[in-house]
């Protein structure tokens, strides 16, 4: 009896081993033929019976590749994690797969699952052994880019087109009408002519379908194109002429005994029927994969993708002459290193302005295929591309973008999570950019009691005209809506007893909704105003360079207040001969006047006067705060200064006496000459350099 049991047990073990071996063998055969869904089924069956660490590493690794190619990234990550962990902790190595290959695949699966920090560590470890591998360099860059771009997305709004997407593959939309109400797209949904599973992808063979939008914006039920375009093979990735009656599209012949490269086909339409397509022959591309055609608006240029030998990477983009009347493509040339990489460049699209859009996995991006835009370089090629960032792009595959004419809206494809099927079509729109300026006006005549000013006049000007005017409300507040790509000036004024003020800013380069905040401090015009930090060369009238800051502020004040005339008043300390000090102070005042004239202020508005040592400084609150040995109201006479205790105190007092001031002489300069406020503004702008901040306020 024991003998019988032993024999039965032996037979049972043998059958398990044979089954395991059979599943692995069948899985390997499917794997080698890119039949990833079938391979995954066999490998999953073999997993429970695996005995050695090496077997577990190999099968988990191959399963990871299967799931990665099927865009099932969570499962791929799990299998690559297993392979990586077994290798790391058991110390086992596979004779079939290098440890660096496992590490790279593991990093890629982590990236596609959005685990960027962990992926960066694995990529870095890989690069320590393979420092020049562009896959790892781009992958690590994607891990840095993705979270950064997701935290600060562009303003595009993205929406899944669930109304006509299916639970299968729906991708690569193309416009089929001039009014943008009809789309063709590629799909593997039920109802395709090749209504059987593609032995490689496990999906139905793809066909080209049409979907239309009615006047209310609702989409019809998608239907296959009528005529001879669709077949039992894969059709998709199309480009139509501007008339909509000629089409270039991709067809891939596939079957268990057929494995030919994809090619571009051409067909024409009469009525609603498409003719039997013909294969387009492109010289030099006979043995290569060719597909993803894109026509420019004129229909004389076509961009397509190919893995032709001698290219720069996997699939490269080529540009060629096209003839939509007879379906010929001639004079192809590679678009070069500005566009193509060691990776894959696919799904091109040429916008009406001839900008090129395409998908690539070789430029870093966010992961998977990302969509890029490139401007023409003026020589028949294109400049280095720009990533469209999130939310157009994601860490998954994003491709096949089209635009609705010149507007910032259209459609693209993505297999990101949350979709209806595998690949889904998404719409995108760019809402209007909202930019405004908000601010308030306050009265700072008395620093200890700042007041908000009601009914202050606010004028908004751009480079060409007065845009708008407003008055401040009870809280002193105001606001204006702004346009993008403009240079603006906002001016605040009360009446002739107050200094007016202005500030300038630009909305050029603003990419996000923005509120620009400004604050105006207006004060009543006092009798005398000291200009801070005006300094001269020792015993001379020459201005030191640092003096120009305060004088530039005075230029701005005179520009903002075009009706005032002023007197520049210079003082010296008491050292030296009285007559000499008087001459020196006048010369210094004239130096200030000369500088203002040089900056465009009318000479008729300026008067220079020197006071020498005749008017000692009276200490104010700011002076007393700056020097604790002074009190408010002290007058810095010769007698006062001579009583100071230290040389430092004496020098500080002399410096306060060596001051430059200005006083307002009149408030009606030029009023009888200027009646038009725009004319007034243009004259101010032409006569003086307008400041860009409030640093010149007095």
Per-residue pLDDT tens for 483-504?
A: 999 999 999 999 999 999 999 9
Length of the chain measured in residues: 698
Query: Of the CATH numbers 3.30.1330.10, 3.40.50.150, 3.40.50.620, 2.120.10.30, which one belongs to the domain with range 157-429?
Result: 2.120.10.30
Q: Which CATH number fits domain 529-617+659-687: 3.40.50.300, 3.40.50.1820, 3.30.1330.60, 3.40.50.720?
A: 3.30.1330.60
d(CA 298, CA 321): 11
Fold of 2-151: 1.25.40
Strand-pairing partners, residue 490, are 460, 503
Longest CA pairwise span in the chain (Å)? 137
User: How far is C-alpha 610 from the chain's CA centre?
Assistant: 57
- Indicate if the alpha-carbon torsion angle 204, 277, 323, 254 is positive or negative: positive
**Cα distance between residue 506 and residue 344, in whole Å:** 40
Using CA atoms of 36, 42, 44, 47 in order, give the dihedral in degrees to the nearest 10.
Answer: -130
Provide the pLDDT for residue 355.
98
Q: Compute CA distances 325 → 203, 240, 266, 268, 329, whole Å.
A: 34, 12, 10, 9, 11
Q: Where are the domains of the chain?
A: 2-151, 157-429, 435-522, 529-617+659-687
For residue 472, give the 3-state DSSP assignment: coil
Q: Does residue 691 carry a pLDDT above 50?
A: no
SS3 content of the chain, % helix, strand, coil (to 5): 30, 30, 45
Calculate the average pLDDT of the chain.
89
Can you give the pLDDT at residue 195?
54
As a whole number of Å, the end-to-end CA separation of the chain is 112
Of 695, 690, 465, 692, nearest to 561 by C-alpha is: 690
Q: Is there a shared CATH topology between the 2-151 domain and the 435-522 domain?
A: no
pLDDT of residue 7: 35
Q: 186: Cβ–Cβ under 8 A, 6 or more apart, which residues?
A: 169, 170, 171, 172, 206, 207, 208, 209, 235, 236, 237, 238
Contact call for residues 267 and 274 (beta carbons, < 8 A): yes
Supply the pLDDT for residue 538: 77
CB 427 within 8 A of CB 421: no
- For 208-228, what is the mean pLDDT? 94
Q: Would you state the structure tokens that stand for residue 308, as one six-digit string? A: 């032709």
**Average confidence (pLDDT) over 66-75:** 86
Cβ(250)–Cβ(202) below 8 Å: no
Residue 389 φ/ψ region, left for φ over 0, alpha for ψ in the -120 to 50 degree band, beta for the rest:
left
Determine the Cα angle at 342 with ends 336 and 344, to 5°: 85
Task: Name the 3-class secondary structure at 213.
Answer: strand
Closest to 303 (Cα-Cα) out of 340, 251, 253: 340
Q: What is the pLDDT of residue 134?
A: 86
Each residue's pLDDT tens digit, 539-595: 889 998 988 899 999 999 999 999 999 999 999 999 989 999 999 999 999 999 999
What's the CATH code, domain 435-522?
2.60.40.10
Contact partners, residue 168, CB within 8 Å, separation at least 6: 187, 188, 189, 190, 203, 204, 421, 422
Residue pLDDT, tens place only, 259-305? 689 999 999 999 999 999 999 999 999 999 999 999 999 999 999 99
- Predicted local distance difference test score (pLDDT) of residue 253: 86
Q: Are 440 and 452 in contact (CB under 8 A)?
A: yes
**Mind spelling out the 3-state secondary structure of 485-497?**
CCEEEEEEECCCC
Q: Is the dihedral of CA 305, 307, 313, 319 positive or negative?
A: negative
172 class by beta-carbon count within 10 Å (0-12 exposed, 13-18 middle, 19+ buried): buried
């Amino acid at each position: 009896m024991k003998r019988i049991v032993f024999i039965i047990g032996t037979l049972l073990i043998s059958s398990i081993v044979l089954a395991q071996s059979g599943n692995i063998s069948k899985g390997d055969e499917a794997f080698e033929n890119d039949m990833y869904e079938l391979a995954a089924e066999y490998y999953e069956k073999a997993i429970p019976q695996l005995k050695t660490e090496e077997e577990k590493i190999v099968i988990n690794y191959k399963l990871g590749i299967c799931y990665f190619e099927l865009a099932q990234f969570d499962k791929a990550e799990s299998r690559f994690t297993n392979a990586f962990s077994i290798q790391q902790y058991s110390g086992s190595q596979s004779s079939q797969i290098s440890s660096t290959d496992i590490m790279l695949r593991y990093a890629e699966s982590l990236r596609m699952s959005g685990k960027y920090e962990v992926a960066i560590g694995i990529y870095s470890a890989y690069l320590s052994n393979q420092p020049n591998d562009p896959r790892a360099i781009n992958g690590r860059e994607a891990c840095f880019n993705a979270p950064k771009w997701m935290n600060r997305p562009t303003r595009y709004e993205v929406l899944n087109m669930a109304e006509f997407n299916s639970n299968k593959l729906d991708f690569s939309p193309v416009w089929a009408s001039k009014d943008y109400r009809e789309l063709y797209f590629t799909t593997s949904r039920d109802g395709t002519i090749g209504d059987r599973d593609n032995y490689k992808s496990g999906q139905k063979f793809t066909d080209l379908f049409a979907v239309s939008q009615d006047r209310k914006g609702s989409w019809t039920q998608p239907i296959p194109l009528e005529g001879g375009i669709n077949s039992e093979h894969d059709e998709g990735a199309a480009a139509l002429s501007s008339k909509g009656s000629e089409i270039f599209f991709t067809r891939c012949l596939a079957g268990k005994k057929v494995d030919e490269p994809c090619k571009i086909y051409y067909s024409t339409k009469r009525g609603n029927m498409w003719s039997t397509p013909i294969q387009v022959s492109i010289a030099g591309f006979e043995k290569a994969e060719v597909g993803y055609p894109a026509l420019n608006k004129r229909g004389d240029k076509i961009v397509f993708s190919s893995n032709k030998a001698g290219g720069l990477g996997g699939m490269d983009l080529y540009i060629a002459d096209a003839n939509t009347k007879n379906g010929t493509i001639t004079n192809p040339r590679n678009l070069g290193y500005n566009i193509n990489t060691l990776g894959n460049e696919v799904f091109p699209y040429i916008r009406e302005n001839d900008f090129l859009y395409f998908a690539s996995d070789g430029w870093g991006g966010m992961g998977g295929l990302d969509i890029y835009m490139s401007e023409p370089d003026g020589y028949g090629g294109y400049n280095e591309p720009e990533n469209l960032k999130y939310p157009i792009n994601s860490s998954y595959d994003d491709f096949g973008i089209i635009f609705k004419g010149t507007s910032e809206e259209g459609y693209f494809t993505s297999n990101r999570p949350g979709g209806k099927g595998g690949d889904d079509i998404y719409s995108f729109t760019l809402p209007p950019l909202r930019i405004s300026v908000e601010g308030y006006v306050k009265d700072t005549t008395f620093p200890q009691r700042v007041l908000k000013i009601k009914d202050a006049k606010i004028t908004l000007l751009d480079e060409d005209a007065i845009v708008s005017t407003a008055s401040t409300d009870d809280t002193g507040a105001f606001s204006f809506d702004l346009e993008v790509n403009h240079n603006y000036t906002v001016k605040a004024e009360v009446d002739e007893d107050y200094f007016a003020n202005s500030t300038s800013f630009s909305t050029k380069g603003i990419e996000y909704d923005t509120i620009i905040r400004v604050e105006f401090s207006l004060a009543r015009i006092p009798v005398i105003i000291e200009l801070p930090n005006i300094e001269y060369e020792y015993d001379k009238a020459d201005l030191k360079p640092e003096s120009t800051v305060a004088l530039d502020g005075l230029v701005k004040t005179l520009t903002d207040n075009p009706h005032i005339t002023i007197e520049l008043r210079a003082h010296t300390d008491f050292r030296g001969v009285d007559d000499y000090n008087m001459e020196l102070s006048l010369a210094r005042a004239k130096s200030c006047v000369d500088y203002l004239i040089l900056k465009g202020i009318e000479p008729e508005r300026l008067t220079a006067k020197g006071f020498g040592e005749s008017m000692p400084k009276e200490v104010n609150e700011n002076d007393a705060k700056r020097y604790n040995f002074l009190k408010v109201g002290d007058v810095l006479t010769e007698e006062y200064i001579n009583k100071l205790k230290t040389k430092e105190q004496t020098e500080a007092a002399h410096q306060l006496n060596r001051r430059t001031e200005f006083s307002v002489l009149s408030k009606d300069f030029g009023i009888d000459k200027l009646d038009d406020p725009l004319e007034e503004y243009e004259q101010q702008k032409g006569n003086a350099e307008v400041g860009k901040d409030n640093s010149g306020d007095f």
